[in-house]
């Protein structure tokens, strides 16, 4: 009796698992593998040469620069927003939380477009900018701005639920013992939220370095000047330089793998971080 | 929004709506309950930053469309080529969400209910679409599903073409939206009371019957939420789609690409008109998803 039921039940379970594995293989694992296979299709030397190409290096520099500006900006915002929203009660709070989520709901191309409408030659501030010789669209400031927009919710989204569950008790105790507001934040709040903070920064950085659609609208695709790594991938691919495209892509794929590894480690340390994950990206 | 305006200092301080009691009195009253410092500073900065980065640019899209006028707006968005692109973006995203609802459920179920070696690695891999830049995903999927690619050549043998067809669009959208379904389902499947399933089986239900009558009814609002989150991501997706789509006018052009094309032709108003259609749909979806999440939570806590 037991044996008869056990076998079909396990069979069904393993059949489901096989279907799951097959789907993940076709959609997730093989695309990752093929990036490295294509990058090394003509052996190691062309791969390394493609990576050391001056335009590829310039793209890497711009990507690093963009993320070095954007991540701290959104980090400070995320901490401020989470402090106000998690530690205090005020009217309109839910509206504010919804507003913070807005960039996740907007198509990347539209994110780029709305900045063109403001800073582009035909935009609101276009004539003024032109008169003063300032360039935002088709220049680096535009790239930084749209990247800020698309990565804007990451840190705040991660910190708000975390700080809400932790409550205000510890901070209130610190204050009643004579700590200043800043000391309370630095010595009580910050240690409590550090893993969540790191988690948010990690996701924010991955998106900032990998953003394509929004940056593509405002960049102008000037090689060596306004090309980020994802844009360099696109240009090389359009030029049929597949080794060049996949070589830069392989660096971005490695970044993704490091991000996933760090994310898994942080989740193991603080399991409640996982629950927010579905809302990200 | 009015609530926000009334209660807060900052750029919206001069509220056009007369508050019932004065702002100052309201603030004083609330301040008495506040022990922690920094409320004004952090909220003020948050509102300033949200307004500057999100609200101001978004309002430009609506202002531009308003200047276009309703008639011209309607003409632009009902051009056959534009309509086809909108239909493809929404249709393919819906199909991808449905496919992922099925496979995402199977994956989440296997990950929570079956112990097997490498489960942790597989679980971490689910998030790859969040972490992998979309352009990289785009060229990788194209290489894989092109007629001479690893999977594409297999499918070509049975007469299925994926890359450079609308089917390719669905594949790329399935890629980006998969984690939304799996990650939404996982915690709920983990919390599910297995005693009820066991009881159903003791009463003679088969595995399949218990899945159909016990598991599905309790998780389907969550499944719907996950699929809707995936759909809303896939609708606006650009980077991973344009490489595999082939971008044939009226066949495999997605709406974000249509916006891009209009921009390259310096047709800013037309580009913005298409964008506004998508923005309105996205915002409606966002509110729908919020309502769904509330409903799913309530149903779960009611049990």
Closest CA to B132 of A29, A272, A148, A2: A29
Which two structure tokens, joined as six digits, stand for A77?
């915002």
- Confidence tier at A276 by pLDDT (50, 70, 90): low
Mean pLDDT of A14-34: 95
For chain B, helix (H) and strand (E) counts, in that order, are: 17, 0
Does pLDDT of A278 surpass 60?
A: no
Distance separating alpha carbons of residues B292 and B286, to the nearest angstrom:
10
Cβ-based contacts of B1 with chain A (< 8 Å)? 92, 95
Does pLDDT of A151 surpass 70?
A: yes
Chain A contact for B46 (CB, 8 A cutoff): yes
Q: What is the ipTM of this complex?
A: 0.92
Chain A contact for B19 (CB, 8 A cutoff): no
Listed by number, the residues of chain B in 53-82 with a beta carbon closer than 8 Å to a beta carbon of chain A are: 53-58, 60-61, 64
Out of B133, B135, B260, closest to residue A109 by CB: B260
Q: Mutating which of A20, A21, A97, A247 best tests the B interface, going by the most B Cβ atoms within 10 A?
A: A20
Which two structure tokens, joined as six digits, stand for B110?
């296997």
Does pLDDT of A83 surpass 60?
A: yes
Contact A17 B180 (CB under 8 A): no
- H or E stretch covering B2: helix B2-7
Contact B178 A217 (CB under 8 A): no
pLDDT score for B58? 95
Closest CA to A31 of B150, B104, B153: B150
Domain architecture of chain B: domains with CATH:
19-68 (no CATH), 72-302 (1.10.3720.10)
Closest CA to B229 of B274, B183, B186, B187: B183
Contact B256 A23 (CB under 8 A): no
Distance separating alpha carbons of residues B55 and A96, to the nearest angstrom:
11
- Confidence tier at B26 by pLDDT (50, 70, 90): low
Does pLDDT of B31 surpass 60?
A: no
Mean pLDDT of B73-83: 96
Contact B239 A107 (CB under 8 A): no
pLDDT score for A1? 44
Distance separating alpha carbons of residues B104 and A31, to the nearest angstrom:
18
Q: What is the pLDDT of residues B46-76, one digit of tens each?
A: 999 999 999 999 999 999 999 999 999 999 9
Instruction: Please state, as a whole number, how many other Cβ atoms lie within 10 Å of the Cβ of residue A138.
Output: 19
Distance separating alpha carbons of residues A52 and A166, to the nearest angstrom:
48
pLDDT score for B200? 78
Q: What is the pLDDT of residues B206-250, one digit of tens each?
A: 777 777 788 888 888 999 999 999 999 999 999 999 999 999 999
Q: What is the pLDDT of residues A230-253, one digit of tens each?
A: 999 999 999 999 999 999 999 999
Mean pLDDT of B153-167: 95
Contact A13 B114 (CB under 8 A): yes
List of residues 6+ apart from B22 with CB closer than 8 A = none
Contacts 24+ apart (CB under 8 A), A235-242: A236/A50, A237/B139, A237/B243, A241/A50, A242/A38, A242/A41
Distance separating alpha carbons of residues A137 and B57, to the nearest angstrom:
14
- Confidence tier at B198 by pLDDT (50, 70, 90): confident
CA angle A269, A275, A280 (to 5 degrees): 105
Does pLDDT of A150 surpass 70?
A: yes
Mean pLDDT of A150-161: 94
Collapsing DSSP states into helix, strand and coil, what is residue A90?
coil
Which two structure tokens, joined as six digits, stand for B55?
């609200």
Closest CA to B42 of A167, A201, A194, A159: A159
Distance separating alpha carbons of residues A32 and B140, to the nearest angstrom:
7
């Amino acid at each position: 009796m037991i044996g008869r039921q056990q076998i079909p039940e396990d069979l069904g379970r393993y059949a489901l698992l096989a279907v799951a594995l097959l789907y993940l293989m076709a959609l997730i694992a093989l695309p990752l593998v093929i990036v490295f296979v294509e990058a090394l299709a003509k052996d190691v030397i062309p791969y390394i040469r493609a990576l050391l190409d001056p335009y590829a290096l310039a793209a890497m520099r711009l990507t690093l620069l963009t993320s070095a500006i954007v991540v701290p900006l959104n980090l400070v915002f995320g901490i401020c927003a989470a402090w106000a929203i998690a530690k205090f009660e005020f009217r309109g709070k839910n509206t504010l939380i919804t507003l913070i989520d807005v960039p996740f709901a907007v198509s990347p191309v539209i994110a780029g477009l709305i900045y063109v409408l403001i800073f582009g030659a035909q935009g609101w501030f276009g004539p003024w900018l032109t008169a003063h010789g300032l360039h935002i669209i088709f220049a680096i400031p535009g790239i930084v701005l749209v990247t800020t927009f698309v990565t804007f919710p990451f840190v705040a989204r991660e910190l708000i639920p975390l700080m809400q569950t932790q409550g205000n008790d510890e901070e209130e105790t610190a204050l009643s013992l004579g700590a200043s507001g800043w000391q309370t934040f630095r010595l009580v709040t910050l240690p409590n939220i550090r893993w969540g903070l790191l988690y948010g920064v990690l996701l924010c950085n991955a998106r900032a370095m990998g953003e394509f659609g929004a940056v593509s609208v405002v960049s102008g695709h000037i090689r060596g000047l306004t090309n980020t790594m994802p844009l360099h991938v696109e240009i090389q691919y359009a030029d049929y330089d597949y080794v060049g495209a996949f070589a830069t892509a392989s660096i971005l794929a490695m970044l993704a793998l490091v991000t996933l590894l760090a994310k898994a480690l942080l989740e193991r340390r603080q399991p409640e971080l996982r629950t927010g994950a579905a809302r990200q990206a | 929004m009015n609530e926000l305006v009334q209660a807060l200092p900052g750029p919206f301080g001069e509220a056009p709506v007369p508050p019932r009691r004065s702002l100052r009195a309201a603030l004083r009253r609330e301040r008495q309950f506040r022990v922690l410092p920094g409320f004004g500073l952090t909220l003020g900065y948050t509102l300033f930053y949200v307004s500057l980065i999100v609200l101001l640019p978004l309002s430009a899209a609506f202002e531009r469309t308003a200047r276009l006028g309703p008639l011209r707006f309607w003409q632009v968005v009902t051009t056959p080529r534009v309509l086809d692109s909108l239909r493809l973006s929404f249709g393919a995203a819906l199909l991808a969400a449905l496919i992922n609802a099925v496979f995402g459920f199977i994956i989440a179920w296997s990950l929570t209910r079956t112990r097997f070696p490498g489960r942790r690695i597989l679980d971490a891999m689910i998030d790859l679409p969040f972490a992998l830049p979309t352009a990289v995903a785009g060229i990788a999927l194209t290489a894989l599903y092109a007629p001479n690619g690893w999977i594409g050549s297999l499918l070509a043998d049975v007469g299925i073409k994926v890359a450079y067809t609308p089917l390719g669009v669905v594949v790329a959208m399935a890629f980006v939206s998969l984690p939304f379904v799996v990650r939404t389902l996982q915690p709920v499947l983990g919390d599910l009371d297995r005693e009820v399933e066991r009881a159903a089986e003791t009463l003679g239900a088969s595995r399949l019957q218990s899945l159909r009558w016990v598991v599905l009814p309790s998780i389907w609002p969550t499944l719907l939420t996950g699929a809707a989150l995936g759909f809303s991501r896939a609708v606006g997706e650009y980077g991973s789609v344009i490489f595999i789509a082939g971008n044939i006018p009226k066949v495999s052009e997605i709406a974000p690409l249509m916006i891009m094309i209009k921009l390259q032709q310096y047709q800013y108003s037309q580009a913005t008109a298409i964008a506004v259609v998508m923005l309105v749909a996205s915002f409606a979806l966002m509110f729908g998803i919020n309502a769904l999440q509330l409903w799913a939570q309530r149903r779960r806590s009611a049990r």
